[in-house]
Amino acid sequence: MEEILVLTEARLRTALGEPDARAAVTFLGTDRYEVLRFRDTEGGSGVVRYATLGMSGRPMTDPSALVTDAESGPRAELVLSLRAGAADTDQVLRPLAVLAASPQVEGVIVAPGNSLDLGAPLWPGAPFSSVLVGEPGGLVADLELAAPLEPVRFLPLLPMTPNEAAWKRVRGARELEERWLTHGTDLRDPLRRSVTLD
């Protein structure tokens, strides 16, 4: 497990640069989870990225399976990208650790198209309490591990307003993503309003 986390952090550093802050959270009966903060100082985009570290140490397993394998199963870490300075987004560190712990605590398999709901704002005053899990492979490439281990995938998180989350439950992730695209929604805006929904 420790070796996988070392490789995972190295992949994050290769893709995002050096983290300028990190926080660790341990929940009762679980492993330690860290959240690393990366600021885009070279690109000048004003984007801050938060990435979990610890979720990939164990594979996610189906809670209904009668027999589980300690090695096989999908592995992932979560990445959230936001525009810096408009809100106190650094308060998202603990909520992200909660989401990263959900496979171990609740037996959830986190995969693209899933909704993850915190039941509280992602940070104080945030208009979002849930996220849509996006497709991996864009910002941070998958980390291949020695067989039979599955690769570590870096899953982007897309904040959803309560209206968007409700609409997604009825219409599905693909239609919500198409709606965002059609309206040119800036998903990195920590203060954005809900996209226009039919």
> What pLDDT is recorded for position 107?
85
CA distance 51 to 39: 11
- Segment 39-71, tens digit of pLDDT: 876 555 689 999 999 999 999 987 666 555 667
Give the pLDDT score at 44: 58
Mean pLDDT value across residues 131-155 = 93
CA–CA separation, 149 and 78 (whole Å): 19
Question: pTM of whole model > 0.75?
Answer: yes
The per-residue pLDDT for range 79-126, each reduced to its tens digit, is: 999 998 888 899 999 999 999 999 988 888 999 999 999 999 999 999
Structure tokens at 12: 């994050």
Tokens read off for 87: 């809100």
The C-alpha atoms of residue 114 and residue 198 are separated, in whole angstroms, by 21
How confident is the model over 19-43, as a mean pLDDT?
Answer: 84
**pLDDT band at residue 148, thresholds of 50, 70 and 90?**
confident
Count how many Cα atoms sit within 13 Å of the Cα of residue 63 in the half-sphere of its side chain: 9
Please state whether 17 falls in left (phi above 0), alpha (psi between -120 and 50) or beta. left
Given this model, what pLDDT does residue 67 score? 57
Would you list the domain boundaries of the chain? 2-182
Peptide bond into 95 cis (omega under 30): no
Residue 48 has a pLDDT of 95
CA distances from 144 to 36, 64, 133, 157, 162 (A): 21, 27, 20, 21, 36
